[in-house]
A and B are shown apart, each in its own frame.
Chain A
Amino acid sequence: MMGGKAVLTGQHFMNGDDACAEGALAAGCRYFGGYPITPSTEIAERLARRLPEVGGVYMQMEDELGSIASILGASAAGARAMTATSGPGFSLMMENLGLGVMLELPCVIVNIQRGSPSTGLPTMAGQSEVMQARWGSHGDYGIVAYAPSSPQEIFDLTILAFNVADRYRVPVIVLGDEVIGHMVERVTIPPADQIPRWERKRPAHPPEFYVHERFKSFRADEDNLVPPLAHAGEGYRVHFTGLTHDEIGYPEMSAETHHELVTRLVNKIRHNAPDIIRTESLYLDDAQIVVISYGCTARSARRAVLDARAAGIPVGLLRLISIWPFPETLIQELAQTAETFIVAEMNLGQIRLEVERCVRRPVRGIHHAGGAMIHPEPILDAIREAAGLR
């Protein structure tokens, strides 16, 4: 089944966790540092077998604190690096997620969500780390998160996650869920030369150039606010610190430097949002009712919208593929013409708050705390009700 190839071009029937692992390999991930946790373990297991086949390293760390620290180190040394976890491990990673943001080290963090909080429902699905993915580490920062809705999509989005991480020097989260992780579907893996690849911005000159003036690991280009990255061992004599730092990377304890740095970290994602955001629209052109959903729940939302359309109700679906940054502009535009917004998600109202913030009116939520898929019926009922059919 698995060969020694990094890209398993062809048709496969595989679960989302395996597809995620294959997406990482196809993207050129060569370092995985993780600690097993249901329902993400299959990612680690597959990479433990597959990474050595392609000259990569599978490292089982002693905990998730170490896992994320190790992928940041591997990234600093030039590798495409990833970890995979679920709620409890994701919580343990939060401090160093912030370190990754501050050091601007590209990496991918996969969270296959289970029922939370705490140990919750280890083997059952959840979608309740949406806000944690956005705000989980202390401080203001920008972050990117993608929410796959199928095994094929987790394959594709894992590749995109590596590309966005490298292009914007930022940790990117793949916010999966147990349903997608364990669901088995067809996955098409394209030929290796068709796997998109965005590179890291690298120093403009060789290290010898920087004798009189130091290389600046944190001087961002004005166009996209991303600074070039030099790797450990290349001779640029870089310094990286989680302390507030100047453009060289040296600690600078001043309010101005701090404000400037944190503002850039936030704007780096905000200003590049059009390049990062991904959504899927279904029947939105004339929709009076808009259903917004993501991840596994979007599958039920799609069924409900299709059924309602068949019954002549002017409803559409906005599926969030990227969750962060949030597609504010698009939703604001939809709010000009659509009357009613319905959010379906497996938590008690996290994205609903975001949507309310954008459309400036109450939004109907179809929520469940997690453990079981939300069925199409309650979503369809809400659509019918909004259409005055009940």
Chain B
Amino acid sequence: MAQAIVIDKHPLDDIMRAERMPHIFCPGCGIGIAMRCYAQAVLESGIPERQHIVVSGIGCSGRVAGYMNLDSYHTTHGRGIPFATGIKLANPELMVTVFSGDGDLAAIGGNHLIHAARRNMDLKIICVNNFNYGMTGGQFGPTTPTGAYATTAPYGNREQPFNLPYLLAAAGANYVSRWTTMHVRQITQDILYTFTKPGFTFIEILAACPVGFGKSNRIPDGLEEMKLYRERSVLARDVPLDQLGIDLREERPIYVGNFVNRDVPAYAPVSIDP
């Protein structure tokens, strides 16, 4: 007779706040996948959990801090990075990750993003890019591809989006990569790697937002959106950084992979021996 498999304990039970489930993410949303990868990386990191700190700004992606069973800070819109900067400088022993959305990090928080990268502040940034402001209902933002539709771009987005890897490379980040939520293994490995990499690291994760971006752009559901991104994905080999921009109108590839990996020393405050 078949025996039901009862699992008392999930390996991530200690890393996630089980009592906060179910989460707020819509069916088909990509944020949960990215969150799961982060949790897996925390588990495998070998760094004591009490040393892992997660900071978020505001947005659907910004809700991740609230689900991690770590010391976690859900701050204000755009201010995750400077808040995390204060934590890191007050206690350099901590592994401080900023998990937030494209709008939070690159629009309202854009100034902090480039300046923290310029300083090579020892922060691990995980940026969920769903090409829109999901939480407020699907408006266009700094990563919305030109021509794509949004609730505030009913005639198509007139603006040019940020090519985030190019921006971060120019700003001075030590490590920059991009994946889609189909690349679960790569994302997890990459987060693990950034835990060992001093300085400012930035992982962009292209994620489905069926309710915001998908709906305006006639992508039927989250799965279709994921497939669309995966089909276009091409592992970048020697692609110039300025070619990494995303244009969904053309049959252009979405380059994924690791684009920057340098060893500039991380920011260290002045220290004087008395």
Say yes or no: B86 contacts A77, CB within 8 Å.
Answer: yes
| A31 CA / B89 CA spacing, docked (Å) | 8
A53-B272, A250-B20 known; A232+B76 contact, CB < 8 A? no
| Chain B residue, CB-CB nearest to A243 | B74
The answer to whether B82 touches A70 (Cβ under 8 A) is yes
Q: Is the CB of A236 within 8 A of B71?
A: yes
Contact of A233 among B50, B65, B271 (CB under 8 A): B50
| New contact pairs (19) apart from A33-B85, A70-B89, A239-B65, CB-CB < 8 Å | A30-B90, A31-B90, A52-B272, A62-B111, A62-B112, A63-B111, A65-B79, A69-B76, A69-B82, A69-B85, A69-B112, A73-B73, A74-B89, A77-B91, A79-B86, A79-B91, A81-B90, A236-B71, A239-B17
Shortest B229–chain A CB gap in Å is 30
Q: Is B1 an interface residue (CB 8 A)?
A: no
Q: Is B176 part of the binding interface, using a Cβ–Cβ cutoff of 8 Å?
A: no
A323 lies within 8 A of chain B by Cβ: no
Determine if B87 is an interface residue (Cβ-Cβ < 8 Å): yes
Residue pairs across A and B with Cβ atoms less than 8 A apart, 8 shown, are A59-B89, A69-B85, A70-B86, A72-B83, A74-B89, A78-B91, A79-B90, A81-B90
- Contacts of A1-45 to chain B: CB distance below 8 A: 4, 30-31, 33
- Interface magnitude class on chain B: 35 or more
CA distance A76 to B115 in the complex (A): 22
Interface assignment of A235: CB less than 8 Å from any CB of chain B:
yes
Kindly name the residue among B66, B81, B83 whose own CB sees the greatest number of chain A CB atoms within 10 A.
Answer: B83
Interface residues of A in 214-273 (CB under 8 A from B): 230-243, 250-251
State whether A52 and B269 are in contact (beta carbons under 8 Å apart), knowing that A62-B111, A74-B89, A237-B70 are contacts in the complex.
yes
> For B51, what are the chain A residues with a Cβ–Cβ distance below 8 Å?
233
Q: Nearest A residue to B270 by beta-carbon distance?
A: A52
Please tell me if the beta carbons of A75 and B86 are within 8 angstroms of each other in the complex.
Answer: yes
Whole-angstrom distance between the alpha carbons of A77 and B84 in the complex?
Answer: 10
Given A65-B79, A238-B72, check contact A73 B112 (CB 8 Å). no
Beta-carbon nearest neighbor of A99 in chain B: B76
The reply to whether the CB of A71 lies closer than 8 angstroms to some CB of chain B is yes
Instruction: Kindly supply a per-residue 1/0 record for chain B positions 1-19, scoring 1 wherever the CB is within 8 Å of any chain A CB and 0 otherwise.
Output: 0000000000000000100
Within 8 A of B (CB), among A46-95: 52-55, 57-59, 61-63, 65-67, 69-79, 81, 95
B82 touches A65 (CB 8 A): yes
Q: Residues of A contacting B271 with CB < 8 Å? A: 52, 55
Question: Least Cβ distance of B15 to chain A in Å?
Answer: 10
> Is the beta-carbon distance between B274 and A73 smaller than 8 angstroms?
no
Which of B66, B71, B76 is close to A95, meaning CB atoms less than 8 Å apart?
B76
How many pairs of residues, A versus B, come closer than 8 Å at their CB atoms? 153
List, in ascending order, chain A residues with CB within 8 A of B126's CB: none
Q: Chain B residues in contact with chain A, CB under 8 A?
A: 17, 20, 49-51, 53, 55, 65-66, 69-76, 78-79, 81-91, 93-94, 111-112, 115, 269-272, 274
Contact B111 A57 (CB under 8 A): no
Q: Check B94 against A232 for contact (C-beta < 8 Å).
A: yes
For residue B71, which residue of chain A has the nearest CB? Answer: A232
Which B residues are in CB contact (< 8 Å) with A250?
20, 66
B270 and A61 contacting across the interface, CB-CB below 8 Å = no
Q: A61 near B82 (CB under 8 angstroms)?
A: yes
Does A58 lie within 8 Å of B71, measured CB to CB?
A: no
Contacts of B50 in A (CB 8 A): 207, 233-235, 237
Mask of A107-149 contacts with B, CB within 8 angstroms, 1/0: 0000000000000000000000000000000000000000000
Instruction: Tell me whether A77 and B269 are in contact (CB under 8 A).
Output: no
* A66-B115, A73-B84, A241-B66 given; A96·B76 CB < 8 A: yes
Q: For the complex, would chain A's binding face be called helix, strand, loop or mixed by DSSP majority?
A: mixed
A77, B274: Cβ atoms under 8 Å? Answer: no
A109 to B161, CA, bound (A): 37
B74 and A73 within 8 A (CB): no
Q: How far is the CA of A233 from the CA of B53 in the complex (A)?
A: 7
Partner of B74, one of A33, A54, A231, A239: A239
Report the minimal beta-carbon distance from A345 to chain B, rounded to whole angstroms: 32
Query: Across the interface, do B72 and A239 meet the contact criterion of CB distance under 8 Å?
Result: yes
Task: Check A251–B71 contact: CB distance below 8 A.
Answer: no
Q: Smallest CB–CB gap between B117 and chain A, Å?
A: 11
Quick check: A237 and B270 within 8 Å, CB to CB? no
Q: Residues of A contacting B55 with CB < 8 Å?
A: 73
Residues on A with C-beta less than 8 A from B111 are 62-63, 65-66
Q: With CB as the reference atom, state the residue of chain B lying closest to A242.
A: B76
List the A side residues contacting B94 at CB < 8 Å. Answer: 77, 232-233
B4 to chain A, nearest CB (A): 28
Residues of chain A contacted by B87 (CB below 8 angstroms): 73-74, 76-77, 232
Taking a contact as CB atoms under 8 Å apart, the answer to whether B86 and A74 are in contact is yes
Partner pick for A237 among B69, B75, B85, CB 8 A cutoff: B69
Rounded to whole Å, the gap between the CB of B97 and the closest CB of chain A is 12
Contact flag A69-B86 (CB < 8 Å), given A78-B91, A96-B79: yes
* A-B interface, 6 closest residue pairs, ranked by CB to CB distance from nearest: A73-B86, A74-B86, A66-B82, A77-B90, A70-B86, A69-B82
Please state if A69 and B72 are interface contacts (CB–CB under 8 Å): no
**Most A-side CB within 10 Å, residue of B17, B49, B79, B271:** B79
CA distance A4 to B269 in the complex (A): 17
Which residue from chain A places its CB closest to the CB of B24 in the assembled complex? A251
Interface centre among B50, B84, B90, B94, by most chain A C-beta atoms within 10 angstroms, is: B90
